[in-house]
Amino acid sequence: MKKYEKYEEEVRSLTLKEKVKLLTGASAWSTGRIAEDLEPVKMCDGPHGLRKVTSGRKKELDISSTTDVAVCFPTASLTACSFDEELLYLLGDTIGKEALAKKIDLILGPGTNIKRSPLGGRNFEYFSEDPILSGKLSAAFIKGVQNNGVGTSLKHFCCNNQETKRFVYSAQINERALRDIYLKPFEIAIEESNPSTIMCSYNKVNGVQVSQNKYLLTNILRDEFKFKGLVVSDWGAVDSRASACASGLDLEMPGMKRPFSYFAKALKNGEFKEEDIEKSNDRLLKLIYDSNKKKDRKLETNYDKDHLLSSKIAAESMVLLKNDNNILPLNKKDNVLVIGNFAEKPRYQGNGSSRINPYHIDSFLDILAKDKINYQYVRPYDSKTHEINMVQKTKCLAYAEDYKKIIIFAALPGKFESEGYDRRNLNFSDLQTNFINEIAQINNNIVVVLQTGSPVILPFVNNVKGLLLSYLGGEATCLAAKDIIFGKVNPSGRLAETWPTCLENTPAFSSFRNDAENVYYDEDIYVGYRFYQTANIPSLFPFGHGLSYSTFVYSNYKVDKNDTEIIVNFTIKNTSKYDGKIVSLIFANKSKSETYRCGPELKAFNKIFLKGNEEKEVSIKFPIKYLNIYDEVLGKYIIEDGTYEIMLMENAEKEICKESINIEGVAVSQKNMTQLVRKEVQKYPFSMNSTFSDISRTLIGKIILKISLKVVNKMSDTDEMQMIKNSINDQPIRSAASFGLISYNRASAIVDIANKHYFKGLRKLIFNH
């Protein structure tokens, strides 16, 4: 490799056309080539394992395209519950090594968006409702991946909190909530881990497409958060490329092939400058140069080893929600009745771009057999077809009387949650609920293993003794569940989100996923547990809840500070005979404040291992600046002067102990919430940003939508196709061009015709220019 400065000179001497070409990907999964002897950066999804597309060029953007086999690790919804930065580092490191062996230079993940509502279709890909937890775990994952010289893409910046109309909706949000909740995880992850790229989201924020939002991409991301890497668009997130370039977006993926005349015209009109293009070219060069540095490409992956790691990560993260009369752990000598086909074919991952072609999916039954545990298995219903097998059901009811312990595998069927669309409600399957309740009447020594990407309401919860939440636990989820159920692993996961009692009680209930394009974040900073504690609404299970087979006792709690940090010291004793891990949660509260606030907010956490009866001193530090809030009147972050309670909490609802500390800060200027102004969305004239459903009011729109729906409806009923079917109406016209279905000119011709500029449109259609 030549010296970096030499490449810089080469890039500067490119023609304008060549420079412009570098603004978009060369293929769906690769950057352009910037110099003869520098290999382009090859990328793939994602956060839970590698999704390396192997189909040919034509099908590479097809969601059902073939992908290489890789280990499917647990989803972020589960790994977040580990509250364990070392574990997330290990996960990142392992995926980074798999990437090296597969000649992948950059992984499109992690996803760090805040879970605004449990209905979010993509919540399984995100960590938490809490910004500090999300930011810290993202940073740990990024450090793990990048330790191998492989890049990451922290996504989706920002406010991608719903899937409905994800390409076009506008998150209408005030600055305080934007900064203190939604931007915070990005800020923390950037500061701690320096991700090589950041992926901007599809949506708009306060009316401006994020890919074209200078305030977010330049003023905040680069000037304030000091992000030094490259900003890449989400796949098809760019509307106006010129405006995106001027706003700080470096690389458009997968790359709509706009004609050069488009750029020449926009440059002439002053929509952007050659200087903007050069800045983006420089950042691309830096990414490509770093990626070409010597890497251990000869690494061999050992998928069997990684599969076991996947199980370890799942087991360290699963949450024991309920354990009445200590029904768990079971004894290996117990004869158990296992019910439900999710024991054989678990639900272990979510649908969409993070979907992995798994290496080996464990079956709970095979694992029991391997461990020589006696069991009886019944499959009284098929959870996919909803058909009840009467013979199996009768057998099952009879066995329920004979067997001492019953394990039921229950899951939210995959088609209910996916990238591309949101859930309609929080309901769990009636079929499975009724069945659990029926069995419970005969024998309530039941342990339910629950597989879901996000919270569901659990009408059976009082009728079972044990409830183990595995979320979507990756391909080895059943091995992990077995290790917890039979006591090989002592559960230590804690909920990274609140489980509500009903949908009406959730923070964004009135404004989430409504059909409007302006989505008002009226709940402000009251997201997740911040809402439940402030509104005094009981939850089914609070943020931070999770049981262990051990009991722990805290003592010697002490809070100190130095110039930059708050230091919390305490002693923990494992007062049981079981070895186990314990998560400690530190919250801060300002009960006397001059501005609106939430109650106690998470500021730090850690996890340690204690042998049975062992005692350890623990010290947890966090930066004083974590006490800051954004003051909209002053236009900056401030720390409010006065007393703060620093609390050790069992979960967001239960305090263990606290101590007050005085912090020298400043007076707040903002007293009240800034109310969101209601705005009309202009639908006409149509633009490339108009959706298929928008233009379906016109003749050409009707025809196009009809043809598209016909094609889509003919597709097979797989989970992937379900995603396309459920989101087609919400796709903007431009996305058809981004994903290579039609040319840029044809897409723009459709818009012209919908706007009744028939001649202009037809000319574009016929001559394709």
User: Which of 320, 225, 235, 224 lies closest to 30 in space, CA to CA?
Assistant: 235
Work out how close the CB of 196 gets to ligand BGC at its nearest, in angstroms, rounded to a whole number.
Answer: 15
Nearer to ligand BGC, 108 or 249 (CB): 108
Q: How many residues bind ligand BGC (CB under 6 A)?
A: 7
Nearer to ligand BGC, 108 or 245 (CB): 108
Work out how close the CB of 301 gets to ligand BGC at its nearest, in angstroms, rounded to a whole number.
Answer: 22
If residue 337 lies in a helix (H) or strand (E), which one and from where to where? Answer: strand 336-339
Work out how close the CB of 108 gets to ligand BGC at its nearest, in angstroms, rounded to a whole number.
Answer: 4
Taking CB under 6 A as the criterion, the residue among 94, 206, 212, 353 binding ligand BGC is 353
User: Which of 529, 415, 410 lies closest to 470 in space, CA to CA?
Assistant: 410
Work out how close the CB of 203 gets to ligand BGC at its nearest, in angstroms, rounded to a whole number.
Answer: 11
What is the bridge-based pairing of β-strands 565-574 and 208-209? unpaired
Return the structure tokens found at 158.
């920002």
Under 8 Å between Cβ of 92 and 144: yes
Q: How far apart are CA 435 and CA 409, in angstroms?
A: 11
At residue 541, φ and ψ (nearest 5 deg) are -140, 125
Nearer to ligand BGC, 198 or 479 (CB): 198
Taking CB under 6 A as the criterion, the residue among 127, 169, 235, 409 binding ligand BGC is 235
Nearer to ligand BGC, 234 or 362 (CB): 234
State which of positions 513-542 bind ligand BGC (CB under 6 A): none
Work out how close the CB of 248 gets to ligand BGC at its nearest, in angstroms, rounded to a whole number.
Answer: 19
Amino acid letter, residue 497: E
Chain centre distance of CA 504: 23
Work out how close the CB of 179 gets to ligand BGC at its nearest, in angstroms, rounded to a whole number.
Answer: 23
84 is catalytic: no
Under 8 Å between Cβ of 254 and 238: no
Taking CB under 6 A as the criterion, the residue among 85, 93, 105, 234 binding ligand BGC is 234
Burial 411-437, CB ≥16 within 10 A → b, else e: bbbbebbbbbbbbeebebbebbbebbe
If residue 647 lies in a helix (H) or strand (E), which one and from where to where? Answer: strand 642-651
Place of tokens 């890049």: 151
Work out how close the CB of 516 gets to ligand BGC at its nearest, in angstroms, rounded to a whole number.
Answer: 22
State which of positions 101-120 bind ligand BGC (CB under 6 A): 108
Query: From residue 180 to residue 219, what is the string marking binding to ligand BGC with x (rule CB under 6 A)?
Result: ----------------------------------------
Please identify which of the residues 93, 105, 234, 362 carries the catalytic annotation. Answer: 234
Return the structure tokens found at 302.
């050992």
Q: How far apart are CA 479 and CA 370, in angstroms?
A: 11
Nearer to ligand BGC, 237 or 436 (CB): 237
Nearer to ligand BGC, 108 or 284 (CB): 108
Nearer to ligand BGC, 108 or 566 (CB): 108
Return the structure tokens found at 742.
């039609």
State which of positions 38-57 bind ligand BGC (CB under 6 A): 45-46
Question: Three-class SS of residue 38?
Answer: strand
Amino acid letter, residue 194: N
Return the structure tokens found at 748.
């723009």
Q: Does 631 bind ligand BGC (CB under 6 A)?
A: no
Q: Does 750 bind ligand BGC (CB under 6 A)?
A: no
Taking CB under 6 A as the criterion, the residue among 97, 155, 603, 764 binding ligand BGC is 155
Return the structure tokens found at 352.
């969409």
Q: How far apart are CA 246 and CA 516, in angstroms?
A: 29
What is the number of the residue whose Cβ is closest to ligand BGC? Answer: 353
Which positions lie near ligand BGC, rule CB under 6 A? 45-46, 108, 155, 234-235, 353
> Any idea which residues carry the catalytic annotation?
234
